[in-house]
Chains A and B, each alone.
Chain A
Amino acid sequence: MRPVAIVGIDCRFPGAPDTAAYWDMLMRSGDGVDKVPRQRWDARDFHSRAGAEGHSNTTEGGFISDPDAFDNEFFTVSPREAAAMDPQQRLLLQCAWRAVEDAGVAPQKLAGTDTGVFVGIMGNEWAHLHMTDYAKVTAQLGSGNGYCMTANRISYHLDLKGPSLAVDTACSSSLVAVHLACNALLAGECDTAIAAGVNVALTPALGIFYTQAGLSAPDGRCKPFSADADGIGRGEGVGAVVLRRLEDAIADGQPVYAVIRGTAVNQDGRSNGITAPNRWSQQEVLAAAYRRAGVDPSEVTFTEAHGTGTVLGDMIEIKALGHLHSGRSGRPLALGSVKGNIGHTEGAAGIAGLIKVALSLHHKTVPASRFAAKENPALKLAKQGIRLLKAPLRLRSGPAIGGLSSFGMGGTNAHAVLESAPPYAARPEERDPESGHTGRTTGASGLGAGVFTLTAPSTAALRRNLLVQADALERRRVPAGPLCWSSNRTKTGHRYRFALPAKDTGELAATLREAAGDDDLLARLVGNATGKPQVGLLFTGQGSQYPGMTARLYLQSPLYRRFLNEADEALAPHLGGSVRDLLLSGDEAVHRTGWTQPALFAVEYALAASLTELGVPPALLLGHSVGEYAAAVLAEVFPLEQAARLIAARGALMERLPEGGGMLAVRAPLSELAELVDAEPLVGVGAVNGPRATVLSGDLAALERIDETLGRQGVRTRRLEVSHAFHSPLMEPMLDTFAAIADETGGGVPKLPVYSTVRGRLLEAEPMDAKYWTEHISAPVLFGDAMNRLLEAGPTHLVEVGPRPVLTGMARALRSAAGAGVHSVAPVAGEEADGSTFAEALAELFRSGLDPRWDAVYPQEERQPQRLAPYAFSDAHRFWTRSTVRAAPADLSVVPDHADTASAHPRDETAAHGHGAVLTAVLPSAAEDTAVDPVTRAVIEAVAEVGGYATDEVSRLSLLYEDLGFDSVMIMELKDRLQERLDGLDTISVQDLLPRLSSVGDLVDYLQDRAGSAVA
């Protein structure tokens, strides 16, 4: 058999609400077994120590917490439908979702795929309680019940199109489901499979059955292979694993918990009774699994046994294992069973064992088996080549093999052989460019900061999950880069999109926690996008440059560095120097136009290329003056090399022009200035940035004259710090030389929408050629017109592609009502900007609905999957339509009375035999007690006094430790108070009292006995 990888896990078992807690409990040899919760059934009603007919011999079992909680809003299931669903369906749905997330996959990404769902289940108690009340059977109840729907619901809600089925082979169900899932994967029926198991106990029926069959442990605990083993204790659970073919998991870089090497399923056939375990079939299924896995029994280091803790079952299982292992070389097979911790989880037993084995191989430690220290000598384990796991077993660092058995009551046996994950499993091999992208993707990547993302269907869900992530990060440090990358891959797809740039995990955790509690902060970090953003890229012009611009970003971001270096290399032959060196050294020469123009070009080219690489689609482009050069390269007007040559020439030619020119910004419309400009032949209109923002350019003396005139008119003006009068008649002397070079560099029609500041509008199939670029030198920059046209196209975001935000500010002034909702984004916010600033810009676009190409944000070494805490579902909504199951007819309104009617014949009989005993078990209320009995009254008063309760808060049923919070000091005091109140009593010692202190009733009974014997 080809290997199958377990890539995702989620589970909930008694005493363990999630996978981490499950492992923790196993390592602590914890006990998940407790009293039957009152929500299920009233255990006292059905309890008989002797196991009388119709009764169970135990009041304990392994019950999961919160079986009634279901986040119906998350799955958009109406409360009515949710209430009609078997809780097993509800639990599985949430569990499957979390398992997929644990596999590092956003569940939405599986939508539409051939992913298969295989569920093992053997209990249908919800149907017993609900489908028998025929008058109340609704459409919702119909789809809320049935084994098939457990699997089908997962397929439906996750939109999975592969095989989807439920399996019932009794207690081996979920391991058989895993077997079928592996086969489906290996047969190519699906590329991902979810295998799961579930078991929720809603009625005492099976416990009564076990008792009547002589299989039920009185303490409700399985004690596998122990000398104390005396039967089964029922357990609940839900667990799901995500399976892939190992080669696929490795190719996709998914972390692997463990590998399934081989599985086998067989049947007892016509054996010694349909429910009796069969040694020969068990050893055959073991041998078959070993054969399929290609392992020798002695290679198997440990095995998770079925281990129900019945004397016969344990004996047969050991004999079957012994048949294959008694002759093994090396150390004996280490054996244990999780049933000692959580009970026999029936339909979920196989998945409980599988998850335990997978985690053991993952953590390289096999937990000790509870109750193993006192092994059953009759099993003669040593002779069988077996030893029990009396202490945790540390596995060697190489590959280790573990087995797993699961046997069904009807004779269907299953065994699986697992192996530790190959060491390379988590590391994706270096792959060629991702499909659909050019060779560039193989180049350096990384912004210098990550972006942690989290999405949720509501802000309340977001807050809850932010806290869950904060808790998880605070518990264990994970490097921020891989963490963020993993969050980008798995925590996407919901409407509310949270994004936060992060460099340090500790700071990230603190901010996540802060955001969860601070509405203003949260509002800044969350977007509620309905569509994809439409991005306008604004390329900044001269005047925005400064020494050392983008140097921090360059040093931190390999991605930006790559593209700036590209531009630098393209420019260098034409400059006689390096733009990169100029920027990194913080050279003031950047203000000389011969450097300014190529430097801005390089920065803008590198920013735009980085944005493209990050998956920001440039919908609309606009460049202010020299900004148009980088925009043109992005629009594929000409290649980088040609643009570099032309911009270098442009800068150099302008620098060579005589100084003495200048520019004057005027707060007035162009029309009001026309007369003044016409009067000065050496002055032209440099730029029209808006309806009342005009820049005049030309001879300094002439500008001075205009300025004086305007000053007298009260018009506000400002001198711009420029070396030359750009876009003015003073440019005339360079035009011929420039045009000659431009002829050589050429230029075509832009392939993206370019809003030309030469034309003041969108270029329509017009080339940006030599003629255009020559005209561009002296023509006014019609930014206002071009920007207005761009805004009319309806961008959602304006991204400033330049060393500081300039154009986005000018655009804001132009915005009409229509453009009011446009957001400004600045990847480089100013001189302090670094990788985090750029990451914040990307985060903002993500919040607005963009799905960036996240891989580009992180260097290769950070693109390592980290398992994040899975989605935390809301437990605010509870669905448990029936109240506690009671013995009929003590509470006829609760037990499905129609069902009783339907099977009316035994009813009288039941009443005749059983009810007397049952009714006495229902205790009278505390109030009645106090009225009649002085001892009870004294005890309740004493307990109330010591505990600080009102007497009506204390009843016979109150548990001193659990309900009333008594501690040992309070017990001492209680003893004194009782002694005072019951003066007829001999001196009581604490030693006498201690064993009688479980409930107030117990204490009363004891003291009444003592009082009675004292009187006698």
Chain B
Amino acid sequence: MQSEHSPQHDSAPPGAVSYLASVGTALPGDPVDNAALARTLGVNEEWIDVFIGTRTRHFARDLETGEVRWSLADLCARAAEQALTASGLAPHEIDFVVMGTATPDHLMPATVNHVVDQLGLDQIPTYQLQSGCAGAVQALQLGHTLVTGGGHKAGLVIGGDVCSKHLDLDRDLSSAAPSDLVNYVLFGDGAGAAVVTSTPRGERLALRTVLNRFTGLGREPGQVIDWFGLADRHEDRQAVREDYKAIEESVPTMAVEILWELLEELDWTPEDVDFLLPPQLSGRMTRRITDGLGLPDAVEVSCVADTGNNGNALPFLQLEALLGKIGQGQRALAVAVESSKWIKSGFALEKI
């Protein structure tokens, strides 16, 4: 949504600016291709190619043995460590850690605290945002706020998801409905992190604005991930549910609105955008959404076809790919939609 009184006509630059100094990512194990997935789960390989369009993904659980090899905390700590090292900041310069995830290792302690523990940080504020695909952007927004107005100078922003809890390898999927099947072939595991600073450091990517908005009033969720406790763990309900029709109908439209809201907020024209980081639903959906965004001159930076939809890791994987491409003075826009309760999110970057 645009704001009627946009700051663009004020004499001051639009909003406060923070900076991304570095990015780190972590993908568990080797990529799992469709043939391997088809073998293990009894899914039709061509169906995955045609209807999902995702080529490979990574799983924290071993597909052959079912053994869990990495926790979410492990992956997030690896990504954060990478980002920290790349930033050139000393660990003691990190003032806070914010993490977004939909699939924490435990409900308590929050996974962010295990991550911080693994990183050897102490005596700093930590935050964990419970969120789906928009969680990474929400974490970025909070990090942005903390360094631009919260009295902090630098912090770690992390996003990651591990879907192995719901990856039931014992199921025979040969007769499963598409809405059920898709949960097995769409998703992957991974983590990403960035160091946010109040002054330009490292990669010197200025974070111009961050959008994060709930727009789901009165709407049924497009995506639900359930969790089970002692009392209800034997109930026979689907752990992951999606309303693909609603997602296919709404996400492309929401993506266009997010794009234009960011552009108008910053007074950028479509021609000003050098790189586009579109929503990463699946190889096929991302292609469709990107076509609909109508930025033919912008270079698309996507990863989902290779990484699978690994939730809160995606924006960081895209950012990492962007870092190798973006030159000084170039601009990038990221658009993400969380279809759970229809959250619009996005951000704008400029390398200075």
A972 contacts which chain B residues (CB < 8 A)? 44, 46-47
B1 contacts which chain A residues (CB < 8 A)? 365, 391-394
- Let me know if B257 and A29 touch, CB within 8 A: yes
Cβ 8 A contact of B4, one of A27, A373, A396, A990? A396
Which B residues from 235 to 280 make CB contacts under 8 A with A? 250, 253, 256-261, 264
**Given that A301-B4, A400-B4, A972-B46 are known contacts, is A391 also in contact with B253, CB under 8 Å in the complex?**
no
Give a binary string over B216-229; 1 marks a CB under 8 Å from any A CB, 0 the rest: 00110000000000
- Let me know if A330 and B2 touch, CB within 8 A: no
* Shortest Cβ gap from B217 to chain A (Å): 8
A990 contacts which chain B residues (CB < 8 A)? 46-47, 50
Bound-state CA distance A528–B215 (Å) is 45
Cβ 8 A contact of B264, one of A391, A395, A476, A991? A391
- Let me know if B264 and A24 touch, CB within 8 A: no
B12 within 8 A of A: no
Which B residues from 1 to 19 make CB contacts under 8 A with A? 1-6, 9
Bound-state CA distance A991–B264 (Å) is 38
- Let me know if B253 and A24 touch, CB within 8 A: no
Give a binary string over A236-266; 1 marks a CB under 8 Å from any B CB, 0 the rest: 0000000000000000000000000000000
B256 contacts which chain A residues (CB < 8 A)? 373, 390-391
Bound-state CA distance A400–B257 (Å) is 22
B6 contacts which chain A residues (CB < 8 A)? 331
* Shortest Cβ gap from B265 to chain A (Å): 9
* Shortest Cβ gap from A754 to chain B (Å): 57
A76 within 8 A of B: no
Bound-state CA distance A994–B1 (Å) is 35
Most chain B CB neighbours (cut-off 10 Å) among A24, A27, A28, A334: A28
Cβ 8 A contact of A967, one of B177, B219, B259? B177
- Let me know if B2 and A392 touch, CB within 8 A: yes
- Let me know if A394 and B2 touch, CB within 8 A: yes
Which residue of B is nearest A373, CB measured? B256
Give a binary string over B272-293; 1 marks a CB under 8 Å from any A CB, 0 the rest: 0000000000000000000000
* Shortest Cβ gap from A723 to chain B (Å): 58
Bound-state CA distance A393–B324 (Å) is 35
* Shortest Cβ gap from B215 to chain A (Å): 7
**Given that A301-B4, A390-B264 are known contacts, is A968 also in contact with B47, CB under 8 Å in the complex?**
yes
**Given that A331-B9, A392-B1, A394-B1 are known contacts, is A968 also in contact with B178, CB under 8 Å in the complex?**
yes
A396 contacts which chain B residues (CB < 8 A)? 3-5
**Given that A396-B5, A475-B218 are known contacts, is A391 also in contact with B257, CB under 8 Å in the complex?**
yes
Which residue of B is nearest A227, CB measured? B294
Cβ 8 A contact of A27, one of B181, B215, B294? B215
A781 within 8 A of B: no
Give a binary string over A466-478; 1 marks a CB under 8 Å from any B CB, 0 the rest: 0000000001100
Bound-state CA distance A27–B215 (Å) is 9
Interface range on chain B (Cβ under 8 Å from partner): 20 to 34
A374 within 8 A of B: yes
Which residue of B is nearest A993, CB measured? B50
Which residue of A is nearest B182, CB measured? A968
- Let me know if B250 and A391 touch, CB within 8 A: no
* Shortest Cβ gap from B21 to chain A (Å): 30
**Given that A967-B177, A968-B47 are known contacts, is A390 also in contact with B4, CB under 8 Å in the complex?**
no
- Let me know if B261 and A391 touch, CB within 8 A: yes
* Shortest Cβ gap from B292 to chain A (Å): 8
Interface of B is mostly: helix
B218 contacts which chain A residues (CB < 8 A)? 20, 24, 475-476
**Given that A969-B47, A972-B44, A972-B47 are known contacts, is A392 also in contact with B257, CB under 8 Å in the complex?**
yes
A368 within 8 A of B: yes
B258 contacts which chain A residues (CB < 8 A)? 391
Which A residues from 384 to 424 make CB contacts under 8 A with B? 387, 390-396, 400
Give a binary string over B47-66; 1 marks a CB under 8 Å from any A CB, 0 the rest: 10011000000000000000
Most chain A CB neighbours (cut-off 10 Å) among B46, B219, B257: B257
- Let me know if B46 and A373 touch, CB within 8 A: no
A331 contacts which chain B residues (CB < 8 A)? 4, 6, 9
Bound-state CA distance A387–B257 (Å) is 14
Cβ 8 A contact of A28, one of B46, B47, B177, B253? B253
B9 contacts which chain A residues (CB < 8 A)? 330-331
Bound-state CA distance A396–B181 (Å) is 45
Give a binary string over B1-43; 1 marks a CB under 8 Å from any A CB, 0 the rest: 1111110010000000000000000000000000000000000
Give a binary string over A357-401; 1 marks a CB under 8 Å from any B CB, 0 the rest: 000000001001000011000000000000100111111100010
* Shortest Cβ gap from A379 to chain B (Å): 16
- Let me know if A368 and B4 touch, CB within 8 A: no
Which residue of B is nearest A382, CB measured? B269
**Given that A27-B215, A331-B9, A373-B260 are known contacts, is A393 also in contact with B2, CB under 8 Å in the complex?**
yes
**Given that A330-B9, A373-B256, A391-B1 are known contacts, is A968 also in contact with B51, CB under 8 Å in the complex?**
yes
Bound-state CA distance A27–B218 (Å) is 11
* Shortest Cβ gap from A476 to chain B (Å): 7
Bound-state CA distance A969–B52 (Å) is 12
- Let me know if B4 and A393 touch, CB within 8 A: yes
B264 contacts which chain A residues (CB < 8 A)? 387, 390-391
A373 contacts which chain B residues (CB < 8 A)? 256, 259-260, 294
Bound-state CA distance A394–B218 (Å) is 18
B3 contacts which chain A residues (CB < 8 A)? 393-394, 396
Bound-state CA distance A20–B219 (Å) is 12
A374 contacts which chain B residues (CB < 8 A)? 294
Which residue of A is nearest B52, CB measured? A968
Give a binary string over A981-1004; 1 marks a CB under 8 Å from any B CB, 0 the rest: 000000000110010000000000
Which residue of B is nearest A400, CB measured? B4
Bound-state CA distance A967–B250 (Å) is 19
Which residue of A is nearest B292, CB measured? A373
Which residue of A is nearest B269, CB measured? A382
B2 contacts which chain A residues (CB < 8 A)? 334, 391-394
Bound-state CA distance A851–B181 (Å) is 59
* Shortest Cβ gap from B1 to chain A (Å): 4
* Shortest Cβ gap from B243 to chain A (Å): 13
B5 contacts which chain A residues (CB < 8 A)? 396
B178 contacts which chain A residues (CB < 8 A)? 967-969
- Let me know if B250 and A28 touch, CB within 8 A: yes
Which residue of A is nearest B44, CB measured? A972
A20 contacts which chain B residues (CB < 8 A)? 218
* Shortest Cβ gap from B294 to chain A (Å): 6
Bound-state CA distance A374–B215 (Å) is 23
- Let me know if B260 and A969 touch, CB within 8 A: no
* Shortest Cβ gap from B221 to chain A (Å): 14
- Let me know if A394 and B50 touch, CB within 8 A: no
Which A residues from 290 to 331 make CB contacts under 8 A with B? 301, 330-331
* Shortest Cβ gap from A813 to chain B (Å): 54
B51 contacts which chain A residues (CB < 8 A)? 968
**Given that A331-B6, A331-B9 are known contacts, is A390 also in contact with B47, CB under 8 Å in the complex?**
no
Bound-state CA distance A633–B178 (Å) is 77
Bound-state CA distance A972–B3 (Å) is 46
A24 contacts which chain B residues (CB < 8 A)? 218-219
Bound-state CA distance A373–B215 (Å) is 19
A330 contacts which chain B residues (CB < 8 A)? 9
Bound-state CA distance A200–B176 (Å) is 44
Bound-state CA distance A969–B176 (Å) is 9
* Shortest Cβ gap from B47 to chain A (Å): 5
Beyond A29-B253, A373-B294, A994-B50, 9 additional pairs, beta carbon < 8 A: A27-B215, A331-B4, A368-B257, A368-B260, A390-B257, A392-B2, A392-B261, A394-B2, A396-B4
The 5 A-B pairs of least Cβ separation, nearest first, read A390-B260, A391-B257, A391-B261, A392-B1, A391-B260
Can you report 28 residue pairs joining A to B where beta carbons are below 8 Å apart?
A24-B219, A28-B253, A29-B257, A331-B9, A365-B1, A368-B257, A368-B260, A373-B260, A390-B257, A390-B260, A390-B264, A391-B2, A391-B256, A391-B257, A391-B258, A391-B264, A392-B1, A392-B261, A394-B1, A394-B3, A395-B4, A396-B5, A968-B51, A969-B47, A969-B178, A969-B181, A972-B46, A990-B50
